[in-house]
Structure 1
Amino acid sequence: MSQLQDGSPDTPLLDRADVRVKHATGIGGALEAFVTRVKSGDLGFLPVVVGLLIICTVFQILNPVFLSSSNLANLLFDSSTIGVISLGIVCVLMVAQIDLSVGSVSGFASALVGTLWVNQGWPVPLAIAAALVIGALIGAAYAFLFNWLGMPSFVSTLSGLLAFLGLQLYILRSTGSINLPFGSPLVSFGQLLTVPGWLAYALVALAAVVVFLTNFRTEQRRKASGLSTQPMAAIATKALAIFISLEFVVFYLNKARGVPWIFGLFVCLVVAMNYALKQTQWGRSLTAVGGNPEAARRSGINVRRIYMSAFMICSTLAALGGVLAAARLASASQQAGTGDVNLNAIAAAVIGGTSLFGGRGSAYSALLGIIVIEAISSGLTLLDLSSSLRYMITGAVLAIAVIVDSLSRRSRMSHGRA
């Protein structure tokens, strides 16, 4: 017998009132509902998780060092800088826009921090704050050009790519690079510092408790609204699975260097962004604007403000990524932010599952996507293969991700889930 709205056997729950629709119950019903969602094109993180498992399996077979704790720790160090930039890309893709200048903005921010800190003698926090503020102003400029002048984001950010690359070269023209003090806290944060083992275990336990309480609160609100709820056992099982898996990851990484603080910062930003996207009015407005700007405007959403916030967050995170990259390399150079930074940042968001068509995405897309890209890079490096293969393989994975996104979008539309 299904759960009832007021406890009586004659009053069905609001979301199960239609007897013509089959309503899944229990663990078997949940699995059946999952298969139905996949068949209808709602794939979630399934493609990227399967792809990551395949990549890890192949590289581990070819080189047993790949899944060693020391190599995985290095992979997390390298993932963090571009991952932060990719997190900003998720925001602009959610509103069906693009920012092609994130690489140049990150390079300009790293050069600015190096100049203000080393050459001008500014305190490190003040230099970093200046870089982040300028990053936010860059995003505001893009939003102004888009909102009030109608300039497509593709064109404005492409112009910004060239402009900020020029500014970066101008700032560093005398030396070409600025070496940051190796023993400074910023450089140590980017290269050496890891979370103490006891603290990492404690944070994982706290994360599992938060997941349980968050889901419990959600189910209580659904129950109060007369909607169906998950069994308490399912909520506890989910939290326990997260706890066990993450504790094992921490245990394995602690066999070598441990969990990098810089990666911890990246994960904190991902969690905060995920909360903002899923649990706040701003996040729901972002999704609505990406799905249909005109419908969002008619429903009372300030569309221009949403575009403004998306571009500003993207450029600010690009600047932060540049600061972290300078800390990782212990220098600010003319090569920072160039090369494949733009490619990897955008590719990570798309490979992780954020739609190029807008309206669908998650902060965890940046996390999963950048791990896929860095796993490919790390595996090819261990095999001592040419970097040209990395570009070709990453490009192929990106193309597959876009194809899967396009096909799943068609499937959702045909099943009425778009």
Structure 2
Amino acid sequence: MTKSVEQDTQVATMLDRRDERVKHAEGIGGSIRAFLDRVRSGDLGSLPVVVGLAIIWTIFQSLNPVFLAPNNLVNLLFDCSTVGVIALGIVCILMVGEIDLSVGSVSGFASALVGVLWVNQGWPVAVAILAALAFGALIGAVYAFLFNRFGMPSFVSTLAGLLSILGLQLYLLGSTGSINLPYESPLVNFGQLLVMPDAVSYILAALPGIVFLVLEYRTAARRRAAGLSSHPLGRLLVRAVILTVILEFIVYYLNLDRGIPWMFGLFVGLVVAMDYALTRTKWGRSMIAVGGNREAARRAGINVRYIYTTAFMLCSALAATGGILSAARLASASQQAGTGDVNLNAIAAAVIGGTSLFGGRGSAYSALLGIIVIQSIASGLTLLDLSSSLRYMITGAVLAIAVIVDSLARRSRVSHGRA
């Protein structure tokens, strides 16, 4: 029996290849056709935001060649990290179909709490940070209790929290209104100066490709063991190599200036950990199920109350983390921290990045892509010396477009039976 005949026999015996009515991608052409079919059926993934980001970068680079210079991109990564971590928490709460409007106030209070405990009260900085994180998690637990016990809509409870926590922040800071953090402290250096050594950044850039290859190979092995078709090892190797080459080039380009900020590395690490939790754990699958259909998830045996509790607590804890990073970035904790457009930017980043407002669909990488879009707009307009009013209008327009695309994609998925 020749090799081609053996392969045809194996394909014929695969459980997911026996139904001739189901289309299966074969080769590069088949993969392209399958991708186009998914797009037409509303399964867009990160495609809209990647296309939008390419358009934004092309426009700003044509207007000001400094925009894509390594120095400006390094500054952009510093600025992405603070609100990006908050947006990651918004992704969690949107995944279950809820919202948290108080993340800005929680982040501001967390920065104030660190300043008061560390600078005014003399606590060790690590203990002050842990106290702020614990406060964030406690606020999330309160929201979850109100939602699970009394059915209070998250919009109302978190709006009340926004006002209450903002009042606590103003009370905590008192008449001074701000607290300057020690400029030479490790926390401030982390937020303003510390970047990865070149060798470390190159090693870390190679890890995603390796992790992708290992996880996909394990998945392929399990599918083969279950009698299902799987991607060949060669295709997985090609995808891993392409991913690694792209990341290594990005790191090389940024290392032409200062390099990758450690604070951005922390943000990306949280994104990767959250993506793993959402896609490869029972908890993550339960989050998606609850966001898709709460009653169906309950009947399937999922502890719905527990899922809501973890989502609210994670959202608030990540908001507190973002507030601490913001204090490190600004070297101060003030009454203005967490106010202004922090709430709007965090929610907009999650939605623009591809997380659905309807629940059940999204990715941790939505926070990363979305905040890069928002900070790119802000950075580009700053370099052009244009009014900040344009930033609000452009960001609002991009957000509106993202919601429209999400709504149309959802309708398409329903009509194609993919919802």
Structures share fold, TM-score greater than 0.5: yes
Poorly superposed stretches of 4+, deviation over 6 Å: 1-7
| Structure 2 CA distance for aligned equivalents of residues 92 and 145 of structure 1 | 15
Task: Describe the SS at the equivalent of 2:150.
Answer: coil
State the match for 2:269 in structure 1.
268
| Structure 1 CA distance for aligned equivalents of residues 35 and 55 of structure 2 | 22
Q: Taking structure 1 as reference, are residues 276 and 5 closer, same or farther at Cα in structure 2, changes over 3 Å only? A: farther
Q: Taking structure 1 as reference, are residues 101 and 4 closer, same or farther at Cα in structure 2, changes over 3 Å only? A: farther
State the match for 2:141 in structure 1.
140
**Does the CA contact (< 8 Å) of 1:215 and 1:235 recur in 2?**
yes
State the match for 1:282 in structure 2.
283
Bigger CA drift: 168-177 or 306-315?
168-177
> What is the correspondence of 1:1-150 to structure 2 with a 5 Å cutoff?
8=9, 11-150=12-151
| % identity of equivalent residues | 72
**Does the CA contact (< 8 Å) of 2:11 and 2:229 recur in 1?**
no
Q: Deviations over 1:204-229 (max 9, x none)?
A: 12222111111111111111111111
Task: Describe the SS at the equivalent of 2:306.
Answer: helix
Alpha-carbon deviation of 1:184? 0.2
Task: Describe the SS at the equivalent of 1:56.
Answer: helix
| Structure 2 CA distance for aligned equivalents of residues 37 and 189 of structure 1 | 42
- Return 5+ residue gaps in structure 2 as ranges: none
Alpha-carbon deviation of 1:3? 10
**Do structure 1's residue 224 and structure 2's residue 225 form an aligned pair?**
yes
Q: Deviations over 1:12-61 (max 9, x none)?
A: 31111111222221111111100000000000000000000000000000
| Structure 1 CA distance for aligned equivalents of residues 283 and 99 of structure 2 | 19
Q: Taking structure 1 as reference, are residues 10 and 275 closer, same or farther at Cα in structure 2, changes over 3 Å only? A: closer
Task: Describe the SS at the equivalent of 1:51.
Answer: helix
State the match for 1:151 in structure 2.
152
| Structure 2 CA distance for aligned equivalents of residues 308 and 81 of structure 1 | 24
| Structure 2 CA distance for aligned equivalents of residues 268 and 294 of structure 1 | 33
Task: Describe the SS at the equivalent of 2:231.
Answer: coil
**Do structure 1's residue 301 and structure 2's residue 314 form an aligned pair?**
no
Q: Taking structure 1 as reference, are residues 10 and 217 closer, same or farther at Cα in structure 2, changes over 3 Å only? A: closer
Q: What letter corresponds to residue 296 of structure 1 in structure 2?
A: A
| Structure 1 CA distance for aligned equivalents of residues 395 and 158 of structure 2 | 23
**Does the CA contact (< 8 Å) of 2:11 and 2:17 recur in 1?**
no
State the match for 1:254 in structure 2.
255
| Structure 2 CA distance for aligned equivalents of residues 167 and 289 of structure 1 | 33
Q: Taking structure 1 as reference, are residues 193 and 8 closer, same or farther at Cα in structure 2, changes over 3 Å only? A: same
| Structure 1 CA distance for aligned equivalents of residues 291 and 397 of structure 2 | 26
Task: Describe the SS at the equivalent of 1:66.
Answer: coil
| Structure 2 CA distance for aligned equivalents of residues 387 and 304 of structure 1 | 42
- Return 5+ residue gaps in structure 1 as ranges: none
Q: Taking structure 1 as reference, are residues 30 and 133 closer, same or farther at Cα in structure 2, changes over 3 Å only? A: same
| Structure 1 CA distance for aligned equivalents of residues 301 and 410 of structure 2 | 26
Q: What letter corresponds to residue 88 of structure 2 in structure 1?
A: L
Task: Describe the SS at the equivalent of 1:178.
Answer: strand
Task: Describe the SS at the equivalent of 1:148.
Answer: helix
Q: What letter corresponds to residue 218 of structure 1 in structure 2?
A: T
**Does the CA contact (< 8 Å) of 1:5 and 1:14 recur in 2?**
no
| Structure 2 CA distance for aligned equivalents of residues 30 and 4 of structure 1 | 22
| Structure 2 CA distance for aligned equivalents of residues 282 and 246 of structure 1 | 29
**Does the CA contact (< 8 Å) of 1:15 and 1:227 recur in 2?**
yes
Q: What letter corresponds to residue 234 of structure 2 in structure 1?
A: A
Q: Deviations over 1:276-302 (max 9, x none)?
A: 000000000000000000000000000
**Does the CA contact (< 8 Å) of 1:354 and 1:360 recur in 2?**
yes
Q: Taking structure 1 as reference, are residues 233 and 135 closer, same or farther at Cα in structure 2, changes over 3 Å only? A: same
Q: What letter corresponds to residue 125 of structure 1 in structure 2?
A: A
Q: Taking structure 1 as reference, are residues 4 and 271 closer, same or farther at Cα in structure 2, changes over 3 Å only? A: farther
**Do structure 1's residue 211 and structure 2's residue 229 form an aligned pair?**
no
Aligned pairs, number: 418
**Does the CA contact (< 8 Å) of 1:4 and 1:12 recur in 2?**
no
Q: What letter corresponds to residue 23 of structure 1 in structure 2?
A: H
Task: Describe the SS at the equivalent of 2:404.
Answer: helix
| Structure 2 CA distance for aligned equivalents of residues 143 and 170 of structure 1 | 25
Q: Taking structure 1 as reference, are residues 9 and 66 closer, same or farther at Cα in structure 2, changes over 3 Å only? A: closer
State the match for 1:368 in structure 2.
369
| Structure 2 CA distance for aligned equivalents of residues 67 and 409 of structure 1 | 34
**Does the CA contact (< 8 Å) of 1:110 and 1:319 recur in 2?**
yes
| Structure 2 CA distance for aligned equivalents of residues 315 and 219 of structure 1 | 37
**Does the CA contact (< 8 Å) of 1:4 and 1:13 recur in 2?**
no
Alpha-carbon deviation of 1:392? 0.3
State the match for 1:397 in structure 2.
398
Q: Deviations over 1:53-78 (max 9, x none)?
A: 00000000000000000000000000
**Does the CA contact (< 8 Å) of 1:355 and 1:361 recur in 2?**
yes
